[in-house]
Amino acid sequence: MKNTIGNPLSWSAQEAAAVGRQIGSIATHIGHDTYDLAHPDVRRITVHDLRDVLRKGVEDFGACRTDVIALCLFYPFIGVLLAWIAFDRNLVPLLFPVISGFALIGPVAGVGLYEMSRMREKGEEPSWRHAFAVVNHPSFAAIAALGLLLGGVFVVWMLTANGIYHATLGPERPASFGAFFRDVFTTGAGWVMITVGCVVGFLFAALVLASSVISFPLLLDRDVGLPVAVITSLRVVAANPLPIAVWGLIVTAGLVIGSIPLFLGLIVVLPILGHATWHLYRRTVVVEPRMEQRVE
Q: What is the DSSP secondary structure assignment for residue 64, as one 8-state letter? A: T
14 pLDDT higher than 80? no
The helix/strand/coil state of 291 is helix
List pLDDT tens digits, range 34-75. 444 467 889 999 999 999 999 999 998 887 765 566 555 666
- 287's CB contacts (< 8 A; 6+ apart) are 40, 221
Residue 29 pLDDT exceeds 70: no
State residue 12 phi and psi, 5-degree precision.
-65, -40
Residue-wise pLDDT tens digits, 178-202: 888 888 899 999 999 999 999 999 9
- The reported pLDDT for the residue numbered 112 is 82
Is a pLDDT exceeding 90 seen at residue 234?
Answer: yes
Mean pLDDT computed over every residue of the chain: 78
What is the model's pLDDT at position 18?
44
Window from 18-27, 206-215, 247-256 with minimum mean pLDDT: 18-27
CA gap 13, 19 in Å, rounded: 10
Distance CA 269, CA 246 (A): 17
Give the closest residue to 224 by CA, choosing from 43, 41, 30.
Answer: 30
pLDDT at 16: 43
| Res. 295 pLDDT band, cuts 50 70 90 | very low
CA distance 291 to 167: 51
Q: What percent of the chain has pLDDT over 90?
A: 35
Is pLDDT of 91 > 60? yes
pLDDT number for residue 217: 92
pLDDT of residue 131: 66
